[in-house]
Amino acid sequence: MSQRFYSTKSPDQFVDIKEAVLRSLPADNGLYMPESIERLGHGFWESWRDLSLADIGVHVAKAIFRDSIPADELEKITRESANFPAPLVTVKEKAHVLELFHGPTLAFKDFGARFMARLMGWLTRDDDGLLTVLVATSGDTGGAVASAFHGIPGTRVIILYPKGKVSGLQEKQLTTLGGNITALEITGTFDDCQRLVKSAFLKREMSENLNLTSANSINISRLVPQSFYYFEAAKNLPEGVKPTFVIPSGNFGNLTAGLLAEKLGLEVEHFVAATNRNDVVPEYLREGEYRPRPSVATISNAMDVGAPSNFARLEEIFGYEWEAMKARVAGYAYGDKITRETIRRIKSETDYTLEPHGAIGWLAAEAWRESHPEAHTVVLETAHPSKFLDVMEEELGAGEVEIPGRLACLADRQKSAIQMGTKEGEFHDWLSSIRE
Ligand SMILES: *Cc1c(COP(=O)(O)O)cnc(C)c1O
């Protein structure tokens, strides 16, 4: 049987995997969800603790996508995407960290982007012409998407980034790959980049001619591989211990993936969502009112989100009942000052290096263990500290953070980007000119 997908706004209309993945966002502005998610079978639970991360991924992907993709192709896509480890580190008694930054661009987004790229490549294998992936980035997403699609046959990626507003190494991640990856350096803000991307999708003819698709984080195919590592963490805890997952959150895709893992049968003690000052969801959990608002800038900038895009999925999962969500998910929020103090304190107490997003998770985990002393908390460390070198060096001193070779080596690479203004006309003309 194939899996079908519905929009959270039209639960009785279904699309197939190709439509859900390539369209990303339904026309009614809802979000795609799988029609049914069932508990993994006996065979899996008999041996899951002995399986590798990729083996677990093969079972999970099959349970979600079913026969929408031939089993051998799905297995190949899964193994090629989850091909780096997600180690669980016990930093203090009952205080664990799940390191999700061992992929090519040093953030958890590699899991989702690599899976999506390969899946899109497969779904369009017999189509005429190239699939053109458009993505606007303020930093992390663009790098993960560029690296994931680099060399995938039948695809090309166009990344729009704001000139002077991404870090030097982040810019190199976007502009040095070449091949099927093109970077546009926009003399404007991230919002301008996002507006330009949207304007291209609204031009129906252009969108169809270029076979445009989006790689944004609400794509259902990015969430599925993010549920793999919840099983990986749980299997590495002592037998009988149920994890409390603490998730540094922005658009809440990672938390949604954890809830997906639970629906597949993983036993989880509790979920804790941790945010910076952009605390729309913790506020909702506390007060029952959802008030999206413009984001404010913080040092944990990948979580500077004022209107979390996956909130619609959280509501759907909890049947639009505040009490139900509140009973399963706790929310905590922290400012920059205490985040910085925590990076210093944990380094000196334990010698473990947390970056700003993970430090916010650590604070929430401490708060949770305070009121639940039996809990084993697992903080998802979403990026490598070297991606936030300025903050890290301010707190820990210069040279204290090791820069992994795959990031350091970008420094000497030649940047190649096309300069462009913020006018839609200019962007559309350029897009029309690249048609083969
Ligand atoms: C994207 C990102 C987040 C936020 O994840 P969501 O799934 O959007 O909640 C947190 N930390 C880092 C480092 C990120 O890149």
- Our answer on whether the CB atom of 392 is closer than 6 Å to any ligand 1 atom is no
In sequence order, the 6+-apart residues with CB closer than 8 A to the CB of 168 are 411
**CATH number for the segment(s) 84-107+223-404:** 3.40.50.1100
- Our answer on whether the CB atom of 107 is closer than 6 Å to any ligand 1 atom is yes
- Give exposure, 81-119, as e/b (b: 16+ Cβ within 10 Å): bbeeebebeebbebbbbbbbbebbbbbbbbbbbbbbbbb
Atom of ligand 1 nearest to the CA of 139: 15
Long-range CB contact pairs, 89-92, < 8 A, 24+: 89/352, 91/346, 91/350, 91/352, 92/350
Nearest CA to ligand 1 atom 14: 302
Distance, in Å, from the CA atom of 386 to the CA atom of 6, rounded to the nearest integer, reads 39
- Our answer on whether the CB atom of 302 is closer than 6 Å to any ligand 1 atom is yes
> What is the amino acid identity at position 195?
R
- Our answer on whether the CB atom of 301 is closer than 6 Å to any ligand 1 atom is no
Tens-binned pLDDT, residue by residue, of the chain (436 aa): 899 999 999 999 999 999 999 988 888 889 999 999 999 999 999 999 999 999 999 999 999 999 999 999 999 999 999 999 999 999 999 999 999 999 999 999 999 999 999 999 999 999 988 999 999 987 788 999 999 999 999 999 999 999 988 888 889 999 999 999 999 999 998 888 988 998 998 888 888 889 999 887 789 999 999 999 999 999 999 999 999 999 999 999 999 999 999 999 999 999 999 999 999 999 999 999 999 998 898 999 889 989 898 999 999 999 999 999 999 999 999 999 999 999 999 999 999 999 999 999 999 999 999 999 999 999 999 999 999 999 999 999 999 999 999 888 988 999 999 999 999 999 999 999 987 5
